[in-house]
Chain A
Amino acid sequence: MQSEMIKRAKELLASGEVARVVGWKAGEFDYDITPGVFTTAEELDSAFLYNDLCEANLSKYMIAQSRKEGKTLVFLKPCDTYSFSQLLKEHRILRENVYVIGVPCDGKVDVDTVKATGLTGICSMTSDGETVTVKTLYGDSTMSKADAMSERCINCKSKKHVVYDELLGEEGDVVADNHRFDMVEKIEAMTPDERFEFWRNELSRCIRCNACRNVCPACSCEKCVFDNEQSGAFNKGASDSFEENMFHIIRAFHVAGRCTDCGECSRVCPQNIPLHLLNRKFIKDINELYGEYQAGENADERAPLNTFTTEDVEPSIVYERGGKQ
């Protein structure tokens, strides 16, 4: 796949169809693959990567890239196309300046999952699609790819690209029977005290690095409320730990109905906070109260949270449910 992608990218660069390419390249550690911008065939040959470790969702970069001179080629995995399409819906990306090539994905390997198995001193990781080989300071070890995948990939919601100009490889389908709400259900079953304790404990580890917000395709505001002195939410977090928790709750509200469940927030969090659970709770509630809805699936469809119909649930029903838990 990688060589095919490089070939197409070179062709499009050579023909002048696109001015640059957004893809993946090696980062500081070789298992830490990061987004990269390529403008020449040489750069592509020497640095462009596409393998089981390319986790990053490249869609958000298109907000800035699509405003540059000339078209930008971007490679999007199926789930990334949902974010891309949601950004189109919010008028954040200039579609005519982007050339999208959809690439297949059968789940990405995640270094945190690998670390969680107890391995330390990891130097590099490779995957052949079946088995992951991990080189550590203390020797090599192998595991099946399924055991090395992150939760979001195990519970993949779709292998289908919702927007593209061109596809490479086989097109897949929406995965209907994923288990992405299992953990949300467990949290819902907790008593309010237990739930409060659960979240206080998780969120207490937050160091307010802002990585979750910065990576989030739904958090694409020109000026985020947390950076705006006038907003009244400015610097939520600095004063005490409770305020700090509010950052996450406000953010979850802001992305509600727009979050595609791409899982980037939880992936980049250096403190391994399961942020996606907050967003999934909203998604689950929206599904239950307003009917099944997947943000990003359809750029023309109106979103339940900002669509008003006379069939909408009455507030009383929402209260009832809220009160029950």
Chain B
Amino acid sequence: MQKIGVFVCHCGTNIAATVDVKAVAEALKGEPGVVFSTDYQYMCSEAGQNLIKNSIKEYGLTGVVVCSCSPRMHEQTFRKAAQSAGINPYMVEIANIREQCSWIHKDIWSATEKAIILGKAAVAKVQLNAPLTAGESPVVKRALVIGGGIAGIQTALDIAEAGFEVDIVEKQPTIGGKMTQIDKTFPTLDCAACILTPKMVDCAQNEKIKIYSYSEVADVKGFVGNFTVKIKKKARYVDEDKCTGCGICTEKCPVKNVPNEFNMGMDNRRAIYIPFAQAVPKVATIDANYCNMLKNGKCGVCSKFCTVGAIDYKQQDTIVEEKYGAIVVATGFNPIKLDDFDEFAYSQSKDVITSLEFERLTNAAGPTSGTLLRPSDGKHPHTIVFVQCVGSRDTSGCGKTYCSKICCMYTAKHAMLTREKYPDTDVYVFYIDVRTPGKNFDEFYRRAVEEYGVHYIKGMVGKVVPRSDGTLMVQASDLLSNEQLHINADLVVLAAAIEPDKSARSLATMLTASMDTNDFFTEAHPKLRPVESPTAGIFLSGVCQGPKDIPETVSQASAAAAKVIGLLAKDKLTCNPCVAQANELMCNGCSSCEKVCPYGAITYSDKEFRMPDRTTAIRRVASVNEAVCQGCGACTVACPSGAMDLKGFSNSQIMAEVDAICK
């Protein structure tokens, strides 16, 4: 029988306002093994911790139950306190009477009753706790960054700067992400390429950084400090080491009608292409969907013209396996598809475009070489209507419920730049609210209105109707003057909501990292741990975690890098001693556990056993590699006979808790 001390925390009023903490301490006094039970205002404070330490000494406690907040908050704190008073840290159990009790109940009587039950379960568990000792595991001093947008680039550069090796896996042929497609950037209006390109080049030239472009993560195994990742390098049919990026192939290729994704399909590229002039790596890629040679073996032009013999029509996808200590997710975003927004006539008229398409129409490297022309007839638009919040803040079910955060600012940017370059153009912006809470942001927006004469109208666009004369009839309501408006526009620009990259969900599954219902990665704590995923060793950078502009993306990217550097700077990590263990006498050797173990921690061996009739039998039995096991418990559930058990969370401990609750 253990000698157990119970400590009930008030957490100020967080717990004490809804739970009668004195009654809880009193009730738990009667539980088997409890020799001391008390309550205190803040158990995590120094005085609170001293209360635990002193009680351990005074009453000779062998086990401690703290009824307080979630173990994620303070389990470590209380374990350390117990350890410093001379008992094994794993003899401490937490009953979560805050998140799981006081915060979710209103009625004092029932909350108190529940707190007592939770306390009883923890006492019952401690009875069966055994001292555990944690081992250590080494840290692989290399990081992986998934996604090579500005977020991934910044994170990689910072990690490399600290002296650690870092690999970037980017699924496109070049790194750079959406920022490569943007023309000028708010709030300073400097050109995106001018500030991004040097960083892309830095990545390429930094000897600590390795770029896997046109590649994807195929498989992730392992755990913090020790991930094994399979990277699929997709066949680009060009030898990256030989190609000099001269581009002759992209001029000679006879297939000229491939929609150019860099320019949002508004012009064409060849079947062999380099996305844009500043691409990194500057290497050509063959689009297998269009290449004649790959489709029917008839062509081979590019190979004839390539002076270095880089073209390789036989190239295959290859898998590279690498080990990493930390993984950063930086998979970014995409504008949503506008198929569900018929009212804006996006699919009917070429002159209804998205904001990202607008960026390309104003960019010197874009389809119109930077002159703003209507996609339908190449004429100058004289009236432009911008519509904000297309699919953002939308509760109708067509779009996203959240605010995409960047649209107010880039629309102001677009409107302002249009008025500056083409003062003869009338510019209207329809908005629900204008949200500009960033440094110099509101000043930026006011300039658009006050200095550039952009017509900002609070109201919704109900319908856009293409007319026979080529113009667009925009029907809208002005909410402030309460009137219906009809504007004859030449161009309509939709600020489409942004959403996480579609690949994010399967990636999250591979990484066992959690996501919210919108498929944005969730952080370990929204305020205090914003760049870490709840899964140890996985970090978040950029828009994959939530909508952000470039300044915010870059600061988050550097923050994630700092966390990674902190991890990689360690030589060893303390392992979790709550690992699985197979009882060989009961093990059938059936392999159920091995098949479910996500970490590959279970192996088998044939062992000799003495049988009841004095004979011996050779049986196949499981054993767990403690350095690899992460204590997830999957195996213990898969094992039919109960031979597999988890230290610190044994079947009997959990049963004891359940029994205590049901008593």
Chain A interface residues toward B at CB < 8 A: 67, 89-92, 220-225, 228, 230-233, 254-255, 302-303, 306-308, 310
Contact = CB atoms under 8 A, between A and B. Distances in A.
Nearest to B506: A310
A308 B641 contact: no
A306 B595 contact: yes
Contacts of B643: 222-223
Given A225-B641, A228-B642, A91 B620 contact: yes
A115 B592 CA distance: 40
A91 B651 contact: no
Contacts of A220: 588
B1 interface: no
A308 B586 contact: no
A90 B590 contact: yes
A222 B641 contact: yes
Contact of B510 (A222, A224, A231, A310): A310
9 contacts: A91-B589, A91-B604, A221-B641, A222-B585, A222-B641, A224-B641, A232-B652, A255-B640, A303-B595
A65 to B, nearest CB: 13
Interface string B577-592: 0000000011111111
A253 to B, nearest CB: 9
A88 to B, nearest CB: 11
B596 A91 contact: no
Given A230-B652, A303-B595, A306-B595, A221 B586 contact: yes
Nearest to B592: A306
Contacts of B598: 308
Contact of B588 (A67, A90, A255, A303): A90
Contacts of A91: 588-591, 604, 620
Most buried by B among A92, A231, A232: A232
Given A90-B592, A232-B655, 19 more contacts: A91-B588, A91-B620, A92-B589, A92-B590, A220-B588, A222-B585, A222-B587, A222-B619, A222-B641, A223-B586, A225-B641, A228-B642, A230-B642, A232-B651, A232-B652, A303-B595, A306-B592, A306-B596, A310-B509
A230 B585 CA distance: 13
A86 to B, nearest CB: 10
Contacts of A90: 588-592
A220 B179 CA distance: 60
Contact of A223 (B506, B585, B651): B585
Residue of B506, B587, B592, B640 most packed against chain A (CB within 10 A) = B640
Nearest to B593: A306
A254 B643 CA distance: 13
Contacts of B652: 230, 232
B638 interface: yes
Interface string B6-42: 0000000000000000000000000000000000000
Given A223-B585, A302-B595, A67 B617 contact: yes
B640 A254 contact: yes
Contacts of B588: 90-92, 220-222
A233 B604 CA distance: 26
A231 B585 CA distance: 14
Q: Is the interface of B mostly helix, strand, loop or mixed?
A: mixed
Nearest to B596: A306
The 6 closest A-B pairs by CB, nearest first: A232-B655, A221-B641, A90-B590, A306-B595, A254-B640, A223-B586
A36 to B, nearest CB: 22
A224 B618 CA distance: 19
A307 B596 CA distance: 6
Contacts of A67: 617-618
Contacts of B509: 310
A62 to B, nearest CB: 14
Interface in B633-663: 638, 640-643, 651-652, 655
Given A307-B595, A310-B510, A228 B638 contact: no
B617 to A, nearest CB: 6
A242 to B, nearest CB: 13
Given A310-B506, A310-B510, A225 B642 contact: yes
A222 B638 contact: no
Contact of B586 (A89, A228, A232, A233): A228
B69 to A, nearest CB: 27
Interface string B211-227: 00000000000000000
A231 B641 CA distance: 9
Contacts of A233: 642
Contacts of B590: 90-92
Contacts of B585: 222-223
A308 B643 CA distance: 22
B593 to A, nearest CB: 9
Given A231-B642, A306-B638, A222 B595 contact: no
Nearest to B587: A222
* Listed residue (A89, A228, A230, A302) with the most chain B CB atoms within 10 angstroms of its CB: A230
A222 B586 contact: yes
B640 A231 contact: no
Interface string B603-644: 010000000000001111000000000000000001011110
A303 B638 CA distance: 12
Contacts of B619: 222
A312 to B, nearest CB: 9
Nearest to B591: A91
A221 B595 contact: no
Nearest to A309: B509
A220 B641 CA distance: 9
Nearest to B584: A222
A221 B587 CA distance: 8
A222 B619 CA distance: 10
Nearest to A303: B595
B114 to A, nearest CB: 24
A324 B640 CA distance: 29
A95 B604 CA distance: 18
Chain B CB count within 10 A is highest, among A221, A224, A255, for: A221
Nearest to B589: A91
Contacts of A303: 595
A306 B591 CA distance: 10
Contacts of A308: 596, 598
Contacts of B617: 67
A91 B619 CA distance: 10
A218 B510 CA distance: 31
A224 B506 CA distance: 38
B508 to A, nearest CB: 9
B595 A231 contact: no
Contacts of B595: 302-303, 306-307
A225 B586 CA distance: 9
A306 B510 CA distance: 16
A222 to B, nearest CB: 5
